[in-house]
Structure formats: C-alpha cells, structure tokens
A and B are shown apart, each in its own frame.
Chain A
Amino acid sequence: MEKVININLKIWRQKGPKAKGNFETYKLNGISGDTSFLEMLDILNEKLINEGQEPIVFDHDCREGICGMCSLYINGHPHGPDEDITTCQLHMRKFKDGETITIEPWRSAGFPVIRDLMVDRQAFDKIIQAGGYVSVNTGGVPDANAIPIPKAKADEAMDAASCIGCGACVAACKNGSAMLFVSAKVSQLALLPQGRIEAARRAKAMVAKMDELGFGNCTNTMACEQECPKNISISNIARMNREFISAKMND
C-alpha cells in the first residue's frame, strides 16, 4: 500500500542577503509518501551533514500549520501544490515517483532573503505595530458579555483572524502586495464593536505603513486568495478599501 518515491530536488541556495544565489540539484531515493515535506528536507539535511556539507536553511517551527513560520515556494506555488495547507502539512504522497521538485524562497521586495530559503518578514510585524490592535491597557475593561456580538459577525471576524502571517499572499502576488494580510487584520477588528472605534485610524495607519515598506498594490488577480493556506477571502480587501476610503473622506 505504502507509496515510496524517488525524487530530484532543485533548491535555491544563497549565502546571504547580498550574495548571488543559484539552484543546486539533489537526489533523494526511497522517500515514503507518509513523510511530510519538511521531514523530506530533514532527510536531505541529515544526508548533507553526513557528507560534510552545509544543510539547507529554511524556516519552520510548529509543523502543524499554525505558527506561520514555514514558507517555501514549491513548484511555483507558495506552500506547494496541495490546497488549504502550509508547507509543513504537505506530504510526499502528493508527488510522483521521479518528479523534479523546485524549491525557492518567498520572492518579494518586502521579504529579503536571509539565507537559502529563509526570508526576513519583519515588515509584517511593522505593519501590525502601526495599528493592528485595539488600544486597551491590561485591566479595567468591561465584562466579556457586556457587549453582545451577532454570531455571524463574530464568525466572520474569526475567519479573518485565522491569518497566520506566513506571507504566502505576498509571495503569490505578481505585485508583491500585502493587501490580503493587512486587510485580514483590518477586517477582523472593524467587524467587532471593540475594534470599530479605531477602525478609521487603523486602516489609514496600516495602509500607510504597508506602502512605506515597499509592498505593491492590488490588481485583483486573486492569486493571494487562491494560495492562502488559511482560505482568507479577498472580500477582506474590499472591506479594507471601504474602511480606507471612508476614513480619507472624513479627513
């Protein structure tokens, strides 16, 4: 029953942010279909270490699809060919025997390469720091049930809040736009009464920071929604645009 495959890997290697990178090819035999994609890279790294070479650097941590640390542009898709999952949840059963798999880092002006497949995503933190919060201090807040929230609104906010900040949307976008990421946070908080109060201020501050950091604009190709491992909807972008325009009109 168990599927075992041999694969060829074409992996981007780059010493540092300013170094010139190139593809290296590797061969791996006897990979079980039940192996996860990152476990396959672990196997390759173990092999490289035993051969006295430097292992491939890639970001990863929780390996259950929630921390947003793993990235990888696999065969032209952020997080690989399977749908609605992150790279760490991708399994080798999705690949064919003899297949050549190309692995690249996120490629975007907003995310410079640190080494090999690891990129710098601090820009996302900076956008959140610009306004992705409700301005309340610890303590002195009302009882949790003081403000009822319609279930549909709460559920919609939860869907937007599911964003894991991995950056696949940026990597998928031909403009390198961060609109899906930014709009998910703007939406979540604009939908809830607690966040509504600062909605206008938040939309302006986050959009301004996004522009400042060199992310591109949205031209509605919908690639971000297609590739998002958490199915964040582009309707959030529409909502953010509404919030932004009405905020500007009131200025």
Chain B
Amino acid sequence: MSTILDAKIPQGPLAEKWTNYKNHQKLVNPANKRRLDVIVVGTGLAGASAAASLGEMGFNVLNFCIQDSPRRAHSIAAQGGINAAKNYQNDGDSVYRLFYDTIKGGDYRAREGNVYRLAEVANSIIDQCVAQGVPFAREYGGLLDNRSFGGAQVSRTFYAKGQTGQQLLLGAYSALSRQVNKGSVKLYTRYEMLDLVIIDGRARGIIARNLVTGKVERFAAHAVVIGTGGYGNAFFLSTNAMASNGSAAAQCYRRGAYFGNPCFAQIHPTCIPVHGEFQSKLTLMSESLRNDGRIWVPKKKEDAEAIRAGKLKPTQIKEEDRDYYLERRYPAFGNLVPRDVASRAAKERCDAGFGVGSTGLAVYLDFSEAINRLGLKAVEARYGNLFQMYEKIVDDNPYKTPMMIYPAIHYTMGGIWVDYELMTTISGLFAIGEANFSDHGANRLGASALMQGLADGYFVLPYTIQNYLADQIRVPRFSVDLPEFEAAEKEVNDKIARLMSIKGKRSVDSIHKELGLIMWDYVGMGRTKESLETALEKLKEVKKEFWTNVRIPGEANTLNVELEKALRVADFLEIGYLMALDGLNRNESCGGHFREEYQTPEGEAMRDDENYSYAACWKYTGEDKEPELVKEPLEYEFIVRQQRNYKA
C-alpha cells in the first residue's frame, strides 16, 4: 500500500516561498468569517496567539485549556529567551543565518521551506510582543538587549530576565483576553479534550470533559486546531508541568492523523539532578546560564570519588584538575554547543566515572570565573531568579558552590505530522507549536520553541487556515446531535467506564513512574537496537498492568483528578510505544536520537542521509496492531548537509 504525503511546499526560491504562498492563497471575507467556527485546543504560546489572532480577524473561536486559566499553560515556564534575526547587535545575523543555524541544529531532519519561513517571521514576533507591552530586557540607551544561546555564534536571543516564556505568554494571554471581552473568543477553562470528531473525512469538533463537573460534552466547529504541547511526560520525570500530556495528539493519531518522528525527544543538559523516589518533576536551569557558567567535572577519578563520598568539595579542586569537557571537545562553541551535544557529553563523563553529587549523575556548572570577571552584582542581575530557584530546591548557594546539573527530558520535536499549511493528514485538523512535528528536526535549539509557538500562532496558521476555510463558507454550523458526535461521545464514556471498573491495586502515578523508568532506561539518551526491543516488550507488559490493575478512586461523573491522570497515562503508554518503535526503525544517530551503534570514533552522532533522510510518520491501524510507517522524503535543494561540527 502506498500513501503519498504531500508537504505542499510552495514553488520558487527559498526566500520567496512564503511570500508566494501568501500572494496566492485563498482568503475569507469579513462577513463570512463571522459564520465560521474554529476550535483551538490549548492556550500556550501557540494556542493563545492563534485564538487571539483568529478572533481579531473575525472568526468565531472556541478556546479550551485544562488549567483554571489560559495564563497557566506550560509555555509560562520557558526561561531563557526567544530568537529572532534582527541583527540589532550588528554581529552579522540574518534571516538566512537563523534559518541555517536552526536546520543545522536540527541535524538536517526538518524541511527547508518550513524552517526558512520560521526564521522569516521571527522578527515580526519581537515587534508584536513589544507592541503588546512585553517588558523585554533593554540597554541603557533604551534599545533591546540580546544574549547568546546554544548552536549560534551571534547574539540573537531576546529575553525578559529568566522569565521570557512567562512574559510572552502573558502577552498572548492579554491579546486573547481582549478577544474574550469582545466576544469573538469563548473560553473553556478546566476542560480536557478527549476525542476528535470527524464528519465526512473532515475534523468537525471535539468531545471534551468538564473537569469540575465531570460531564462529557460535545463541541462543533468548521476546523479544529491542536496546540496542546509535547509528550515529554511519557518519561514521568521531565521538566514539563505535571498535567502536560500528549493525549490530544494521541486522539488525533487514533482518528487518522499521522504521528511524525515520535522518537525525537530533547534532553536538556542543565536540569537539577534527580534526588529521590518521590520526586515529581525535574527543574530546568536555563540554557542562558551557559553564557557565563562553565561546565566541568574533576579530571581525576579519585577526586570524583572523594566528592561523591562527601570528603571533598568542588571548590577544593584546583583549576588544573578540572576538566572543562565542552570547552575541550568543542573549542569553537565551548559551553554553548546545542543541547543534544551537551547532554551526551555529560552522560559520557558520568558513565566514565567522573560524575559528581551523591549519585554520580551530575556535573558542575560553575560561575566563579564569571563572578570574578563581572562581579557578583552583574551575575545576580542576569540570573538572580534562577539562582534563587536553585537554592530553594537544593539548599545550596550557587554563588559560592558550583551548581550541580544533569540532563533531563525537556521537549519533544516529534508530534502530529503537518504540511506547510500546518494541516494534518485529516482535513480541517491543524496542529501548531510543540504539538506538531515541527520545524526543529531532530533537535531544537534553545530559544526556538517560543519562536516556533508564536510564529505558528500569530503569523502562519491565521493565514494558512483561511486557505482551508475559504472552501467552507457555504457549510452551515454543525449540530452536536449528529450521529458522529454521539458515537464519539459514547466511545469516550465507554473508555472512562472501563477505567473506573478496573478497581485494581495500583495508583495511576505508580504505573506512570514505571513507564517513565522504562522510557529513561531504554528509550533515553543512548539507545540501542536491544534497548529499544526490550522497551517494546516491557511497554506491552506495563500497558497490560495498567489496564488490569489500576485503581481510580471516586466517581467519573464529578471532579476526579485520578481519572484525569489515568486517561493521560493510557495515552502515554501508546506514545511511549511509538517512540520506541520509531527509534528502532531509525538506524542512525541524529540530534536528540542517539543510537549507540551509530557514532563516529570521537563519539559524535553519525547520520545516514542515504537511508534516513525522511520524516517517519506513523499511521494508526487499530487497537494493539502495529502502526504502519509512511515516509515523507526530505529533499535539500538549497543547502548542503554536513556532519554537524561545533569544534572549529
């Protein structure tokens, strides 16, 4: 069976594709916009900016979030910054360079056309946010300040202290709030999408559960947009928020949307290390810290052992006995290599026995040199809130003792497959932000998630969705009494009833933790054919355990947090399986996907462009059946792919 995936990349030179598209796409006139309903699920950077922009344009928008307020979506936690090629620093930046750095950072596993468009619209995002009153950091002359992030040799990252995600999200939230006030957007907070409704092959609505009353409800629209973030919580411990989940993506996948590159997950190098079995999440320490912090472990194994035993302090290790391994291995980029490279290098040192902390699974991030060079005050001004956060969690003063950090799951590059118009393989179903399989290829650069979320929401989807909706202007509003809605709601209710009836012995969390450990041990930073095969076997067992032994107290027809968690874990089990399957299929190392069999003698990732230059898309074939692999070939017309080099 052959399925052809058309990414619908516009013709023409790279720099003209997006302009050409916009010049020729179909538009919807203002009178017709009022007659068209759009459901947007999620209120993070992508969801909120899309809902606000669509509302401003005159569409009738229904916007859903699981939190009590749209302002709490997990985009709020992004710390470091947002990239744009403004070249305000006069350091040689350009749209092309931002495009090139992003596609190279992604290890050449993204589409040229998409990434170029992302780089192209990035500048407009900064303008938009400033106009909304986002208080970006400024220089004394009153102009915007920038800093550097991994994978770039220019300073193109705009920031608001260590709270950039918060400020950008509050900007989008304010724009959204303005539309709610106008009546163009209707908000549904504490609602969770539980299924997608398809009528005659097109996405026409969702089934959602009111999390306060427990009531399962139906919502219809002319198009559905998914902006529900990533699925990193399949690992249980991650930097994601507790309720972040991949369920909307899993529901779309089961309804026929292809899942793209599920194995591409990003492991962030600088997180606070794991401390105990009751730990509920891992806290990120912003990549911006690598502007001034130097990463090291002891050069001598005996020093590392003494530190682990609590007999030696890091400050007692002499300069010449420290191994600044990133500076040693990657002189050109030093501590600012991309995240996948930095994470693997930390794992390599710890696996070799040079790790610190009580578990040996930590490395130092040291600011003493920066404090000597810039003064304590300057370091405090730049990173004060991050240092405070570290101190509150670890009970140690990072101004005096180096921070201890270790890699943790942070972001998922994979997601629902979308074409250039951000439409999935289901007509009328769009996916934006982290939820789509996106423009980051196999690895996302720092400060690019905020860029992509807002690019999709403010400047891409509001255009491309019109190209679809222009054909829908004669389609009247749908009744939620249609049989398709009834059937979907029944399936949801049956699933809930089945979960409630198990009445087993184990809490949802205990099974989620078991799943997470399997993912980290076998589908984590270093994967092998054997580890992935083991994962697939173990995942089948834990899925069986879940469906026969989970215990959900309380009733379904009321507020029930355990039921919410169970529904999410049921989907994480599916997604975890897809991740392992995809990782097993991809016999190469690229970006965040590191197959230990495929590495250079120096331990760098070895890509196989001959055989794996494609987006791996997984098509659902039924409950407990193996999904089918569909390939979207990645063709590079404009740039030459190389092995990524951050050494020289």
Contact = CB atoms under 8 A, between A and B. Distances in A.
Interface in B370-408: 388-389, 392-393, 395
Contact of B133 (A38, A66, A91, A192): A192
Interface in B138-152: 138-144
Interface size of B as a range: 35 or more
B138 A151 contact: yes
B559 A114 contact: yes
Interface string A43-60: 100101110111101011
A214 interface: no
Given A57-B561, A158-B160, A143 B127 contact: yes
Given A46-B510, A57-B559, A151-B138, A64 B389 contact: yes
Contacts of A154: 135-138
A173 interface: no
A53 B553 contact: yes
B170 interface: yes
B241 interface: yes
A134 B133 contact: yes
Interface residues of A, number: 79
Given A42-B280, A68-B72, A165-B69, A60 B393 contact: no
A35 B278 contact: yes
A198 to B, nearest CB: 10
B175 interface: yes
B131 A151 contact: no
Interface stretch (A97-105, A125-133, A236-244): A125-133
Contact of B76 (A59, A66, A135): A66
Contacts of A78: none
Interface in B57-112: 67-72, 74, 76-77, 86, 88
A126 to B, nearest CB: 9
Contacts of B472: none
Nearest to A56: B561
A55 B141 CA distance: 55
B128 A54 contact: no
A147 B142 CA distance: 8
Given A63-B281, A154-B136, A145 B143 contact: yes
A114 B187 CA distance: 19
Contacts of A128: 71, 173-174, 177
B507 A188 contact: no
A145 B144 contact: yes
Given A138-B175, A161-B135, A122 B69 contact: yes
Given A64-B283, A136-B131, A43 B551 contact: no
A211 interface: no
A138 B125 CA distance: 9
Contacts of A85: 392
Nearest to B71: A165
Contacts of B225: none
A188 B177 contact: no
Contact of B278 (A42, A138, A147): A42
A221 interface: no
| Residue in B53, B88, B130, B143 whose Cβ sees the most chain A Cβ within 10 Å | B130
A138 B459 contact: yes
B67 A63 contact: no
Given A50-B507, A128-B177, A67 B389 contact: no
A212 to B, nearest CB: 14
Given A46-B509, A49-B507, A158 B135 contact: yes
A62 B76 contact: yes
Contact of B131 (A42, A142, A162): A142
Contacts of A33: 395
Given A1-B310, A35-B278, A141-B128, 12 more contacts: A55-B561, A57-B559, A82-B392, A125-B180, A128-B71, A133-B177, A142-B127, A148-B142, A154-B135, A154-B136, A161-B160, A194-B133
13 contacts: A48-B553, A67-B77, A89-B389, A89-B392, A114-B559, A125-B177, A128-B177, A129-B178, A139-B124, A139-B459, A145-B88, A155-B138, A188-B133
Interface of B: 49, 52-53, 56, 67-72, 74, 76-77, 86, 88, 124, 126-144, 160-161, 163, 165-167, 170, 173-175, 177-178, 180-181, 187, 189, 212, 241-243, 275-276, 278-281, 283-284, 310, 388-389, 392-393, 395, 458-459, 462, 507, 509-510, 551, 553-554, 559, 561-562
